[in-house]
């Protein structure tokens, strides 16, 4: 047994080193004064030079703002459609076309991005010829494409959350005369709210992060942040991208820590309430 | 499951419009008509129809229809016009239509060794990366699943955390590490080995894919390994089996579903990967995702690009169907 725990510790160490060394290297080198990643300029480092350059870059700032807007709208849309799809698939029992719906919700999870991007672009081109909408490509087409691939993730999350409790509460409310819509808003929605929230965050991240699909469906005037970063990185190493990465890692890290604390508090409160409910009996 | 079936059988009988083959579309149009709307809302199923129709129509329009267009376009001929392809059904005269069904694009794919080679290369890269992901991810998932609950949550959070940060930036981080004068070669130089050429090689692409897709391997594996009944291992130890025999005879077979799910989640997207080979891979051996986007953006040959994606889908259809069946079984199993 002892050799086993040694092996486990080693594999965790190697795995996490592999996952985190690249991220840490970006964080460290974002404070390096030298332009070269390979040289650590001991005289003038650490410096905030690259952060100043990054935050003075008009193109990066405007594309980041566009990405935030796209991601927020995408996440909201994906949550609406994804929750409906998850609800339908796990609560509505068999209906005609269920197999097709479930296939269409799981396929985007693994579909290569180039194919999704290409097919959506062709759709937009055809639609524009046929009905004159969408006129050109930009914000709207990016959002539509992002909703389509990210709602699948929301669906899976909501579906697995719904499958952890049975529908007896909903049945009871229906028996007591509540209308289906009321049952949904008063019972189902509060129960799956955590899943919806994490689905929203996931869809936001996926949209914020997406390069390939955006490249296909974006127009000339709408450049998202990943597109700017990609064109910069393709030309070689640029240290202000390290600064950007550091800022993003920090935001995500803080967010994750806060949510972990929040979840722990929720768990404790739940445990306390259960205890008190038992004591009242 | 049984309850909802009972509820369905108690529903009011559906009228002729609703039960027809085009029921979904008709019921939508019909429901919006004013006279009987309120009456239908009071019943269970009218609202349900609408709830089904919303995600259905969205996915149909933006997921299914685009594929039909790609399929159609892959049989078209390229033309120097906008859009740059010939229509599939062309009006020749008032009464005659010509069907321009053209297999030339597919023939072209098969005859040009560039395409066949990039397909084979993509499959090789994806398969090798999947194996490495498994070799690295399995021990990690195993170790996480056997940790104490508090530690387990921390490990899991640390696995998921990089996933929330930008994928593109994480791939970019490897440029600084793998370059000939990069950090890894500097570290190796201290020990007196190297420098090695790692950037723009297959090795760099493997590293990039394993690095980016590792969480997709670990999470399904973990959720499988965590459910194992540990008394089985105790029993096998009592019966005299060593840890390796126990692992090979009990843990490994039991974790097969997790291995399959994780491998598919890595393999399928890796075949079409575009960003990682563009940043880290060599430019003389292209993966199929890159070929597709070059064909589309640089050569502006939309029909061939469509044929490339249909061929890629044909290649991936078996793993994708496998994944879907698995996914459905998992969700159905969780309900019980």
- In degrees, rounded to 5, the angle at the alpha carbon of residue B57 between the alpha carbons of residues B52 and B63 is 125
Report which of B152, B140, B129, B289 is spatially closest to residue B218, judged by C-alpha positions: B140
- Give the mean pLDDT of A148-174: 85
Residue A41 pLDDT greater than 80, yes or no: no
Structural tokens at position B42: 């009071």
In this prediction, residue A116 carries a pLDDT of 93
Residue matched to tokens 């005299």: B240
Q: Pick from B2-16, B35-49, B98-112, B169-183 the range whose average pLDDT is largest.
A: B169-183
- On whether the CB atoms of residues B319 and B267 are closer than 8 A, the answer is yes
What does the DSSP assignment read for A31-70?
T-SSSSSS---TTT-S--HHHHHHHT-HHHHHHHHHHHHH
In this prediction, residue A37 carries a pLDDT of 64
Could you give the CA distance from residue B139 to residue B154 in angstroms, rounded to a whole number?
Answer: 17
Question: For strand B97-99 and strand B89-91, is the pairing parallel, antiparallel, or unpaired?
Answer: antiparallel
**Whether B266 contacts chain A with CB within 8 A:** no
Give percent above pLDDT 90 in chain B. Answer: 25
Burial class of B218 by CB neighbour count within 10 A (0 to 12, 13 to 18, 19+) = buried
**Chain A interface disruption, residue of B3, B18, B56, B318, most A CBs within 10 A:** B56
- pLDDT per residue over B19-77, tens digit each? 333 444 444 444 443 333 333 334 455 677 788 888 999 999 999 999 999 988 888 87
Q: Do B73 and A122 touch (CB under 8 A)?
A: yes
Q: Pick from A97-101, B33-37, B330-334 the range whose average pLDDT is largest.
A: A97-101
Could you give the CA distance from residue A199 to residue A162 in angstroms, rounded to a whole number?
Answer: 13
In this prediction, residue B181 carries a pLDDT of 79
What mean pLDDT, rounded, does chain A reach? Answer: 86
Q: At what angle do helices A139-162 and A98-110 cross, to 10 degrees?
A: 110
Give A204's pLDDT tier (boundaries 50, 70, 90).
Answer: very high
Could you give the CA distance from residue A67 to residue A146 in angstroms, rounded to a whole number?
Answer: 11
Residue B254 has a CB neighbour count (10 Å cut-off) of 15
- pLDDT per residue over A264-280, tens digit each? 787 788 788 878 877 77
B317 vs A144, which has greater pLDDT? A144
Residues in chain B: 336
Q: Which residues contact A10 (CB under 8 A, 6 or more apart)?
A: none
Residue B132 has a CB neighbour count (10 Å cut-off) of 18
**Whether A33 contacts chain B with CB within 8 A:** no
Interface of A with B in 120-179 (CB under 8 A): 120, 122-123, 125-126, 129, 144-145, 147-148, 151, 155-156, 159-160, 163-164, 166-168, 171, 174, 179
Across the A:B interface, residue pairs with CB atoms under 8 Å apart total 272
Give B18's pLDDT tier (boundaries 50, 70, 90).
Answer: very low
Structural tokens at position B257: 């579903």
Give B92's pLDDT tier (boundaries 50, 70, 90).
Answer: low
In this prediction, residue B304 carries a pLDDT of 87
Which residues on neighbouring strands pair with residue B90, listed in sequence order?
B98
Q: Which residues contact B298 (CB under 8 A, 6 or more apart)?
A: none
Q: Do B265 and A110 touch (CB under 8 A)?
A: yes
- On whether the CB atoms of residues A77 and A147 are closer than 8 A, the answer is yes
**Chain B interface disruption, residue of A2, A19, A212, A267, most B CBs within 10 A:** A19
Q: Rounded to a whole number, what is the distance in Å from the CA of A51 to chain B's nearest CA?
A: 16
Nearest CA in chain A to B177: A22
Q: Rounded to a whole number, what is the distance in Å from the CA of B139 to chain A's nearest CA?
A: 6
Residue B299 has a CB neighbour count (10 Å cut-off) of 12
Q: What is the DSSP letter of B77?
A: P
Q: Pick from A31-35, A99-103, B254-258 the range whose average pLDDT is largest.
A: B254-258
- pLDDT per residue over B211-246, tens digit each? 999 999 998 899 889 888 888 888 888 888 888 888
Could you give the CA distance from residue A250 to residue B125 in angstroms, rounded to a whole number?
Answer: 33
Nearest CA in chain B to A256: B161
In this prediction, residue A257 carries a pLDDT of 83
Q: Rounded to a whole number, what is the distance in Å from the CA of B97 to chain A's nearest CA?
A: 19
- On whether the CB atoms of residues B137 and B213 are closer than 8 A, the answer is no
- On whether the CB atoms of residues B63 and A107 are closer than 8 A, the answer is yes
Residue matched to tokens 């039991």: B254
Residue among A12, A110, A226 minimizing CB distance to B320: A110
Q: Do A107 and B144 touch (CB under 8 A)?
A: no
Residues of A with CB below 8 A from B271's CB? Answer: 112
B233 vs B87, which has greater pLDDT? B233
- On whether the CB atoms of residues B335 and A86 are closer than 8 A, the answer is no
- On whether the CB atoms of residues A102 and A155 are closer than 8 A, the answer is no
- On whether the CB atoms of residues A149 and A108 are closer than 8 A, the answer is yes
What mean pLDDT, rounded, does chain B reach? Answer: 79
Q: Do A122 and B306 touch (CB under 8 A)?
A: yes
Residue among B48, B274, B331 minimizing CB distance to A180: B48
B184-191: long-range pairs with CB below 8 Å, 24+ = B186/A38
Which residues on neighbouring strands pair with residue B89, listed in sequence order?
B99
Residue among B4, B52, B165 minimizing CB distance to A248: B165
Residues of B with CB below 8 A from A120's CB? Answer: 62, 66
- On whether the CB atoms of residues A105 and A152 are closer than 8 A, the answer is yes
Q: Which residues contact A216 (CB under 8 A, 6 or more apart)?
A: A114, A117, A118, A120, A121, A145, B296
Burial class of B77 by CB neighbour count within 10 A (0 to 12, 13 to 18, 19+) = middle
Residue B1 pLDDT greater than 50, yes or no: no
Buried b (16+ CB within 10 A) or exposed e, A121-155: bbbbbbbbeeeeebeebbbbbbbbbbbbbbbbbbb
According to the 3-state scheme, what is the secondary structure of B7-63? HHHCCCCCCHHHHCCCHHHHHHHHHHCCCCHHHHHHCHHHHHHHHHHHHHHHHHHHH
Structural tokens at position B68: 């039909």
Residue among B160, B175, B293 minimizing CB distance to A237: B175
Could you give the CA distance from residue B116 to residue B122 in angstroms, rounded to a whole number?
Answer: 10
Structural tokens at position B78: 């390229």
In this prediction, residue B86 carries a pLDDT of 64
In this prediction, residue B46 carries a pLDDT of 63
A256 CB-side CA count, 13 A: 21
Q: Do A122 and B169 touch (CB under 8 A)?
A: no
Residues of A with CB below 8 A from B243's CB? Answer: 1, 3-4
Give A19's pLDDT tier (boundaries 50, 70, 90).
Answer: very high
Residue A81 pLDDT greater than 50, yes or no: yes
Give A163's pLDDT tier (boundaries 50, 70, 90).
Answer: confident
Report which of A2, A57, A80 is spatially closest to residue A231, judged by C-alpha positions: A57
Q: Rounded to a whole number, what is the distance in Å from the CA of A19 to chain B's nearest CA?
A: 7
Residue among A122, A167, A205 minimizing CB distance to B164: A205
According to the 3-state scheme, what is the secondary structure of B167-227? HHHHHHHHHHHHCCCCHHHHHHHHHCCCCCCCCCCHHHHHHHHHHHHHHHHHHHHHHHHCC
A183 vs B260, which has greater pLDDT? B260
Residue B130 pLDDT greater than 90, yes or no: yes
Residues of A with CB below 8 A from B164's CB? Answer: 205, 252, 255-256
In this prediction, residue A194 carries a pLDDT of 85
Residue matched to tokens 């997406």: A210
- On whether the CB atoms of residues A41 and A34 are closer than 8 A, the answer is yes
Residue B134 pLDDT greater than 90, yes or no: yes
**Chain A interface disruption, residue of B105, B157, B165, most A CBs within 10 A:** B165
Which ipTM did the prediction report?
Answer: 0.86
In this prediction, residue B96 carries a pLDDT of 60
């Amino acid at each position: 047994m002892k050799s086993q725990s040694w092996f486990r510790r080693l594999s965790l160490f190697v795995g996490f080193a592999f996952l985190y060394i690249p991220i840490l290297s970006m964080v460290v080198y974002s404070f390096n004064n030298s332009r070269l990643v390979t040289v650590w300029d001991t005289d003038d480092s650490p410096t905030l030079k690259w952060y100043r350059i990054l935050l003075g870059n008009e193109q990066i700032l405007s594309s980041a703002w566009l990405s935030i807007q796209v991601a927020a709208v995408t996440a909201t849309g994906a949550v609406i459609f994804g929750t409906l799809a998850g609800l339908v698939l796990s609560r509505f029992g068999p209906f005609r076309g269920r197999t097709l719906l479930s296939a269409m919700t799981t396929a985007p999870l693994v579909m290569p991005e180039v194919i999704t991007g290409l097919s959506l672009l062709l759709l937009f081109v055809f639609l524009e010829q046929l009905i004159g909408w969408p006129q050109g490509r930009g914000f709207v087409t990016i959002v539509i494409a992002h909703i389509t691939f990210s709602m699948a993730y929301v669906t899976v999350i909501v579906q697995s959350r719904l499958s952890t409790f049975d529908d007896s509460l909903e049945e009871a409310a229906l028996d007591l005369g509540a209308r289906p819509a009321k049952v949904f808003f008063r019972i189902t929605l509060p129960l799956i709210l955590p899943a919806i929230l994490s689905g929203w965050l996931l869809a936001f991240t996926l949209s914020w992060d997406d390069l390939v699909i955006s490249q296909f469906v974006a127009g000339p005037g709408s450049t998202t942040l990943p597109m700017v970063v990609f064109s910069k990185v393709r030309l070689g190493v640029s240290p202000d991208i390290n600064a950007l990465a550091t800022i993003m890692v920090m935001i995500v890290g803080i967010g994750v820590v806060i949510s972990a604390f929040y979840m722990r508090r929720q768990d404790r409160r739940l445990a306390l309430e259960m205890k008190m409910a038992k004591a009242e009996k | 499951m049984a309850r909802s079936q009972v509820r369905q059988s108690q529903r009011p009988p559906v009228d002729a419009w609703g039960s027809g083959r085009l029921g979904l579309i008709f019921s939508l149009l019909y429901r919006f008509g004013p006279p009987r709307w309120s009456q239908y809302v009071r019943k269970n199923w009218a609202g349900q129809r609408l709830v089904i129709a919303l995600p259905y129509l969205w996915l149909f329009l933006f997921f299914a229809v685009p594929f039909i267009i790609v399929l159609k376009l892959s049989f078209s001929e390229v033309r120097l016009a906008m859009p740059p392809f010939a229509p599939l059904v062309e009006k020749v005269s008032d009464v005659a239509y010509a069907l321009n069904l053209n297999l030339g694009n597919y023939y072209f794919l098969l005859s040009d060794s560039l395409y066949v080679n990039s397909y084979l290369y993509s499959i090789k890269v994806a398969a090798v990366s999947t194996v490495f992901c498994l070799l690295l991810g399995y021990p990690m998932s195993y170790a996480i699943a056997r940790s104490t609950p508090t530690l387990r949550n921390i490990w899991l959070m640390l696995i998921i955390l990089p996933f929330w940060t930008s994928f593109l930036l994480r791939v970019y981080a490897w440029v600084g590490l793998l370059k000939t004068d990069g950090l890894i070669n500097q570290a190796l130089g201290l020990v007196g080995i190297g420098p090695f050429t790692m950037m723009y090689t297959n090795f760099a692409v493997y590293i990039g894919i394993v690095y980016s897709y590792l969480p997709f391997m670990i999470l399904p594996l973990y959720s499988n390994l965590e459910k194992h009944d540990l008394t089985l291992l105790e029993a096998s130890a009592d019966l005299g089996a060593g840890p390796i025999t126990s692992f090979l005879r009990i843990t490994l077979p039991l974790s097969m579903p997790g291995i399959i799910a994780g491998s598919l989640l890595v393999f399928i997207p890796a075949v079409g990967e575009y960003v990682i080979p563009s940043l880290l891979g060599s430019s003389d051996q292209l993966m199929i995702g890159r070929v597709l986007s070059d064909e589309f953006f640089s050569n502006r040959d939309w029909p061939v690009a469509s044929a490339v994606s249909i061929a890629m889908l044909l290649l991936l259809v078996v793993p994708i169907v496998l994944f879907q069946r698995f996914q459905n079984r998992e969700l159905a199993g969780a309900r019980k």
